[in-house]
Amino acid sequence: MPQTPAADAQASTEASFPAAVRDAAVAALIALGLSAPMMGLVPVQSPQGLVLEQRWAPVAIAVAVVFAGRLLLNLTLWRPGRVKRVGYVPPKLEAKLAGLARFLGPLAIAGAVAMPLLPFTERYAIDLGILVLTYVMLGWGLNIVVGLAGLLDLGYVAFYAVGAYSYALLAQYFGLSFWICLPLAGILAAFWGVILGFPVLRLRGDYLAIVTLAFGEIIRIVLLNWYWVTGGPNGISGIPRPSFFGIDFDRGPDGFAATFGLDYSPLHRILFLYYLILALALLTNFVTIRLRRLPIGRAWEALREDEIACRSLGINTVTTKLTAFAIGASFAGFAGSFFATRQGFISPESFVFMESAMILAIVVLGGMGSQFGVAIAAVVMIGGFELFREFSDYRMITFGLVMVLVMIWRPRGLVSSRSPSVFLKEKKAISGSLVQEGHG
């Protein structure tokens, strides 16, 4: 399916070089209008109150970049007469890629298992791996709600918060261990998923998105202000670290190293956390794959395709949607309690709307419904995000820009084709353009 790039319709009909220059000049002029006041004049505090400081260098750079970029694009990608096929992948190739994913999946899992044991792997890489895997898990969890059931949830981070706070509070007040709290956190998150999900299920897509956003914010504000339970903005610290099924990772005689006759190393705990989140993520993946082949999973996808037809076939849309919400939320709950035990400290700061947007972006950019695409998107986004740590000022702005550009390039995400849950003779990938994305 050819996509229309952001090319001016006029620019593509005029064929000459001067036209391209003229168009780029207009764009540069607009850039000047946009950037001159915002970037060139900066109010700063002085003894006389706010005064404007002039900074014309960034404006000049911005205008030059826009002019050069637009000119270059006009002469290459947006050249008049060029068939516009940005982001187009032939269906056959796409099917091949989807088939490749079947081999790449196990390969990637093997790589993930082996990675920390490789001789050249540093501690930093394992830490990064833990972070990436947390987002892979969150992405897969949200994928159930957004990708399969087609319910647009912008408040997913709320369930992540419920999981984290459940573990922190249960451990703090009742002294329960991580392994008891993990399922409890999942159940509590699922419970909240049902509570918040129930009233909003009748809403259509955009409205559902905004209400879930509101719910996410409400939960965060409550966590922020409910001092005597949650510690407010100070959060909860001293959350117990995980134990190896009861054996602590410490130097003591009963510690992990001593028990197994190893030399004590702080790396043991990191490794344990890494394999823990890997196992949790793979569990999410396994359950999702199973669910897709069960009637409930098919009902989710059918719901995404056509809700009215579902009702005519005797599918209870309310409970079907609620299960999607609850199961998606429970995985966020698991991930949340993992997050709490890894950090040892949580505060509402970690559960802002940006996190929800990030997880949703992983799902949508990866390709809704595609487990493989979501994993790739999580690795690329979170990994990329961390690699650019030194340019932390420019990370978020780039992130926002990349979101816009990827949507323009491939509105359906990286892997857009759908693989059928069952087949008679031959499993054929279904082109993304046929797959609906849900209405509510």
Partner 1 sequence: MEYFLQQLINGVTLGSIYGLIAIGYTMVYGIVGMINFAHGDVFMVGAFMALIVYLALVAIGITFVPLALLVVLIVAMALTALYGWTVERIAYRPLRGSFRLAPLISAIGMSIFLQNYVQLAQGARVKPLPPVVPGGHQFGAAEGFVVNISNVQILIVVTTVALMAIFTVIVAKTSLGRAQRACEQDRKMASLLGVDVDRTISLTFVMGAALASVAGLMYLLYYGVVDFYIGFVAGVKAFTAAVLGGIGSLPGAMLGGLLIGLIETFWSAYFSVEYKDVAAFSILAIVLIFLPSGLLGRPEVEKV
Partner 2 sequence: MTEELPALPDDVLLRVEHLTMRFGGLTAVNDVSFDVRRGEITALIGPNGAGKTTVFNCITGFYKPTAGRLPLKSHEGVLLLERLRDHQISRKANVARTFQNIRLFGGMTALENLLVAQHEPLMKASGLTVLGVLGIGGFNRAERQAIEKAKVWLERIGLIDRADDPAADLPYGDQRRLEIARAMCTNPVLLCLDEPAAGLNPRESLELNALLRSIRDDDGAAVLLIEHDMSVVMEISDHVVVLDYGKKISDGSPKAVRDDPKVIAAYLGVEDEEVADVEREVEGAEAAR
Chain residues binding partner 1 by CB under 8 A are: 3-6, 30, 33-35, 37-39, 41-44, 49-52, 58, 152, 199-200, 202-203, 205-207, 209-211, 213-215, 217-218, 221-222, 224-225, 308, 353-354, 357, 360-361, 364-365, 368, 393-394, 396-397, 399-404, 407-408, 411-412, 437
Q: Quick check: 415 binds partner 2 (CB under 8 A)?
A: no
182 within 8 A of 334, measured Cβ to Cβ: yes
Q: Quick check: 316 binds partner 2 (CB under 8 A)?
A: yes
Report the first-to-last Cα separation within the chain, whole angstroms: 25
Q: Quick check: 122 binds partner 2 (CB under 8 A)?
A: no
3 binds, among partner 2, partner 1, none (CB under 5 to 8 A by kind): partner 1
Q: How far is the CB of 43 from partner 2 (least distance, A)?
A: 52
Q: Residue 228: in which H helix or E strand, if any?
A: helix 227-230
Q: SS3 for 1? A: coil
**Residue 74, C-beta contacts closer than 8 angstroms, at least 6 positions apart:** 7, 11, 19, 20, 23, 24
Q: Quick check: 337 binds partner 2 (CB under 8 A)?
A: no
Q: Quick check: 282 binds partner 2 (CB under 8 A)?
A: no
- From the list 185, 130, 112, 162, the residue with the least C-alpha distance to 348 is 162
How many CB atoms neighbour CB 358 within 10 A?
21
134 binds, among partner 1, partner 2, none (CB under 5 to 8 A by kind): none
Q: Quick check: 421 binds partner 2 (CB under 8 A)?
A: yes
Question: How many residues in the shown chain lie near partner 2 by CB under 8 A?
Answer: 38
393 binds, among partner 1, partner 2, none (CB under 5 to 8 A by kind): partner 1
CA 358 to chain centre: 4
Site for partner 2 in 371-400 (CB under 8 A): none
Beta partners for 266?
Answer: none
- Please identify, using beta-carbon distances, which residue of 309 and 396 lies nearer to partner 2: 309
Q: SS3 for 434? A: helix
Q: Quick check: 323 binds partner 2 (CB under 8 A)?
A: yes
Q: How far is the CB of 2 from partner 2 (least distance, A)?
A: 19
172 binds, among partner 1, partner 2, none (CB under 5 to 8 A by kind): none
Q: Quick check: 204 binds partner 2 (CB under 8 A)?
A: no
How far is 194 from 321, CA to CA, in rounded Å? 9
How far is 42 from 35, CA to CA, in rounded Å? 11
195 binds, among partner 2, partner 1, none (CB under 5 to 8 A by kind): none
23 binds, among partner 2, partner 1, none (CB under 5 to 8 A by kind): none
Q: How far is the CB of 287 from partner 2 (least distance, A)?
A: 6
49 binds, among partner 1, partner 2, none (CB under 5 to 8 A by kind): partner 1
Residue listed under structure tokens 């091949």: 96
Q: SS3 for 236? A: strand
Q: Quick check: 434 binds partner 2 (CB under 8 A)?
A: yes
- Please identify, using beta-carbon distances, which residue of 252 and 420 lies nearer to partner 2: 420
Q: How far is the CB of 309 from partner 2 (least distance, A)?
A: 4
Q: How far is the CB of 106 from partner 2 (least distance, A)?
A: 19
Helix and strand totals (H; E) in the chain? 17, 4
How many CB atoms neighbour CB 40 within 10 A?
18
387 binds, among partner 1, partner 2, none (CB under 5 to 8 A by kind): none
Question: DSSP letter at 8?
Answer: -
How far is 396 from 331, CA to CA, in rounded Å? 26
Q: SS3 for 77? A: coil
How far is 192 from 329, CA to CA, in rounded Å? 8
**Residue 107, C-beta contacts closer than 8 angstroms, at least 6 positions apart:** none
Handedness of CA 274, 276, 280, 285 (dihedral sign): positive
Q: How far is the CB of 427 from partner 2 (least distance, A)?
A: 7
Q: Quick check: 241 binds partner 2 (CB under 8 A)?
A: no
How far is 9 from 23, CA to CA, in rounded Å? 11
288 within 8 A of 144, measured Cβ to Cβ: yes
Q: Quick check: 194 binds partner 2 (CB under 8 A)?
A: no
305 binds, among partner 2, partner 1, none (CB under 5 to 8 A by kind): partner 2
Q: Quick check: 85 binds partner 2 (CB under 8 A)?
A: no
Residue listed under structure tokens 């229309």: 4
Task: Provide the binding-site residues for partner 2, judged by CB under 8 A.
Answer: 287, 290-291, 294-296, 298-299, 301-302, 305-306, 308-317, 323, 418, 420-428, 430-431, 434-436
